C-alpha cells in the first residue's frame, strides 16, 4: 500500500471533489480517497502493486483537472 497527496488545479466545489473521488475509486485497489477543493488536493491510499502514481494522474487529467507536480 502507498499513500499519495496530490495538488489539483481546477477543483472549485464539492461536486469537483465527488467527481475526482468517484473516478479514482473506479480504478479499484483504492483503500481511501479524499479530495478537498478548499486545499486543492486529493489524498489517496492505494495498492501500489496494482496502480501507479501515473495511473492516478491520468484518471484525474481525464476528468479535466490538472495535477501540480512538486
Instruction: Say how many domains are in the chain.
Output: 1
CA distance 27 to 24: 6
Per-residue pLDDT reduced to its tens digit, 9-19: 999 999 999 99
Report the CATH number at residue 45: 3.30.70.100
Domain range holding 47? Answer: 2-68
Contacts of 10 (CB under 8 A, 6+ apart): 16, 64, 65, 66
Per-residue pLDDT reduced to its tens digit, 19-63: 999 999 999 999 999 999 999 999 999 999 999 999 999 999 999
Amino acid at each position: 500500500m502507498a499513500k499519495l497527496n496530490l495538488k489539483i488545479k481546477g477543483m472549485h466545489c464539492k461536486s469537483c471533489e465527488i467527481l475526482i473521488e468517484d473516478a479514482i475509486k473506479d480504478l479499484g485497489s483504492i483503500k481511501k480517497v479524499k479530495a478537498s477543493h478548499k486545499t486543492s488536493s486529493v489524498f489517496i491510499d492505494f495498492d501500489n502493486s496494482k496502480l501507479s502514481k501515473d495511473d492516478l494522474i491520468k484518471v484525474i487529467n481525464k476528468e479535466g483537472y490538472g495535477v501540480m507536480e512538486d
